[in-house]
A and B are shown apart, each in its own frame.
Chain A
Amino acid sequence: MSNRSGQAHQLRVGDRPLIKYTLIGITLLLTILLLVVPLISIFQQALVEGVGHYFASLLEGDTLHAIGLTLFVALLTVPINLVFGVMLAWSVTRFEFPGRKLLMTLMDIPFAVSPVVAGLLYLLLYGNNGWIGSWLYDQDIQLMFAWPGIVMVTVFVTCPFVARELIPLMQQQGREDEEAAVILGASGWQLFRRVTLPNIKWALIYGVILTNARAVGEFGAVSVVSGNIRGETNTLPLHVQLQYEDYQAAAAFASASLLALIALITLLFKAYIEWRQEKLMHHESDQEKQVAK
């Protein structure tokens, strides 16, 4: 795609073999040192005391509970942010209205705000001293230091991801297809399901997977509102910290290896989508060439 191999080959910057292979070499070396080795070392450290120990530490009660709580939080967070992401992407790519740019900037707040600050914001509002929290306290509702608080901050931290994946794609695709469908009499839901959804399907799935990866792995914000109660409000990343600070390094890395596995699956899926898209584009351009003939 990037190398226009069809054209007569003219020399471009950095095409000389010496420069090319030096740059590739440096990049690969740095990537291996900075990314690949750390990734491998997670699994190496997890297995350092043997496979038996690895599984035993994963099957321990508190670890299992942490895994369960983490999945539960992700299960609640992802659908909420899926709906929000689609709604936001639809409104900013399909309509012009005053404040549209401002809305897109506001959407990015969770990216810019430190997770610890995010957790604190929720703690101050919904904690027992907050103006909503004190009212909730009177109603005997406890959100902070319990799972609802963990879900709330996780929603905050991960809410831009779906919209971020959808907006560039939907902007690029334009609104012609959808406008045609409306003129042909499609209802709102038919329009979304039959026209929009097939076009954005892969970006949407990737957005969901990325949201999931971040929801499962959120640490700073969750550690502020969780209260770190072992076997109760400990998510998997917090459990990793507890084990690590308890000098149970192998157990900490065993828990961490599960999170690393989710990260790897996320990357694999993204690579698959990109590979698929490139193939689709090649296919289309081949067809165009044949038509031209």
Chain B
Amino acid sequence: MATHLSAAQARPKHKRVLPGLGLSLGTSLLFISLIMLLPMTGLIMQSVDMGWDEYWYVITNERVVASYKVTLWAAFFASIFNGLFGLLLAWVLVRYEFPGRRVLDALVDLPFALPTAVAGITLATLYSQNGWYGDLLASLGIKVAYTPVGIILAMAFTSIPFVVRTVQPVLEELSPEEEEAGMTLGASDWAVFRRVIFPALWPALMTGIALSFTRSLGEFGAVIFIAGNMPYVSEITSLMIFVSLQEFDFPAASAIASVVLMASLVLLFAINVWQARYLRRLHGR
């Protein structure tokens, strides 16, 4: 795949004058092999050791399957929320000048910079019954902390920046001609947005949502404090791995982890291939 792409995009033959290919590529490859690829061998060996029957038994265990469902649904809702909120944030940041815009822009990155455990205890405290929000919501009869809604909230919090930061640059480079033509012809704001702007934005928006989803699937620190971790109800898959480890059940932890790892690697490669495609379409015209 990768070789195919670079061959297709080959620039006019360019004599290599810059030094350091051997050193920089060699170091990078060595590092990636040692840090990322080598550790995977342990997991593969451990899973192979188990034998298929036991492996299948562990990964289809009822409680584990319930945790897949909780994790997938929560990540789904969190990334949909972030698609909407992220699009709104990106739009407001790019299109409007207002006092505090720079502060808002900086704040968007807070969830990346703030340690997940800190986010976790903060959200759990805010939304618990004595917390500022929990108190208010309780009087409306809504319970967030220690329910699946809390999981969605924590996942959404930690992945807010993804959609904003993928949509923002595309929105900045959008040329105004078509948009202004539409507006001059008297189309409504919404019609022009839907017909002209949204088609240009949606690949970036989808990428952002997919990144947000991937991150949410793996989120641990922010979630465990607010989730309540009730079996079958609010246990996420990362926690199942953690619990197996605490019981020194390495085979079970590895089996569940292999499922999570495969899912995230497939998502990662899919996002990258999709991004390369739409970039090529964008520049290939």
Contacts and interface: CB of A to CB of B under 8 A. Distances in A.
B193 A13 contact: yes
A190 to B, nearest CB: 10
Contact of B104 (A1, A13, A26, A27): A27
Given A109-B268, A271-B105, A10 B114 contact: no
A199 interface: no
A259 interface: yes
Contact of A13 (B11, B31, B157, B192): B192
B125 interface: yes
Contact of A188 (B11, B19, B91, B221): B19
A112 B159 CA distance: 12
A220 B96 contact: no
Contacts of B184: 10-11
Residue of B31, B241, B272 with most chain A CB atoms under a 10 A cut-off:
B31
Contact of A14 (B95, B119, B218): B95
Contact of A240 (B94, B118, B189): B118
A219 interface: yes
Interface stretch (A51-59, A61-69, A120-128, A282-290): A120-128
Interface in B223-239: 225, 238-239
A280 B20 CA distance: 31
Contacts of B269: 105
A108 interface: yes
A31 interface: yes
Interface residues of B, number: 109
B214 interface: yes
B146 to A, nearest CB: 14
A41 B128 CA distance: 13
B103 to A, nearest CB: 8
Nearest to A245: B225
A249 B120 CA distance: 13
Given A16-B189, A20-B96, A179-B18, A10 B180 contact: yes
A10 B238 CA distance: 51
Contacts of A28: 100, 104
Contacts of A197: none
A23 B88 contact: yes
B261 A263 contact: no
A130 B42 contact: yes
B97 A3 contact: yes
Interface string B175-201: 010011001100001001100110000
B202 interface: no
Interface residues of A, number: 111
B264 A113 contact: yes
A138 interface: no
A87 to B, nearest CB: 4
A28 B85 CA distance: 11
A182 B18 contact: yes
B117 A10 contact: no
A27 B225 CA distance: 27
Nearest to A2: B94
Nearest to B111: A35
A36 interface: yes
A115 B107 CA distance: 24
A82 interface: no
B254 interface: yes
Contacts of A27: 88-89, 92, 104
A119 to B, nearest CB: 9
A84 B27 contact: yes
B176 A30 contact: no
B24 interface: yes
A237 B115 contact: yes
Residue of B121, B157, B179, B253 with most chain A CB atoms under a 10 A cut-off:
B121
A237 B118 contact: yes
A129 B245 contact: no
Contact of B126 (A37, A155, A271): A37
A292 interface: no
Contact of A112 (B239, B257, B265): B265
A125 B91 contact: no
A214 B118 CA distance: 12
B8 to A, nearest CB: 11
B5 A101 contact: yes
B28 A175 contact: no
12 contacts: A27-B92, A41-B132, A90-B20, A100-B2, A101-B6, A105-B2, A125-B39, A131-B45, A223-B242, A224-B242, A237-B221, A271-B106
Interface of B: 1-3, 5-7, 10-11, 14, 16-21, 23-25, 27-29, 31-32, 35-43, 45-46, 85, 88-89, 91-92, 94-98, 100, 102-107, 109-119, 121-123, 125-126, 132-133, 156-157, 160, 172, 176, 179-180, 183-184, 189, 192-193, 196-197, 214-215, 217-221, 225, 238-239, 241-242, 245, 250, 253-254, 257, 260-261, 264-265, 267-269, 272, 276
Given A14-B95, A96-B6, 13 more contacts: A2-B172, A23-B88, A27-B89, A31-B107, A38-B123, A91-B25, A98-B2, A112-B268, A114-B218, A210-B113, A240-B121, A241-B225, A267-B106
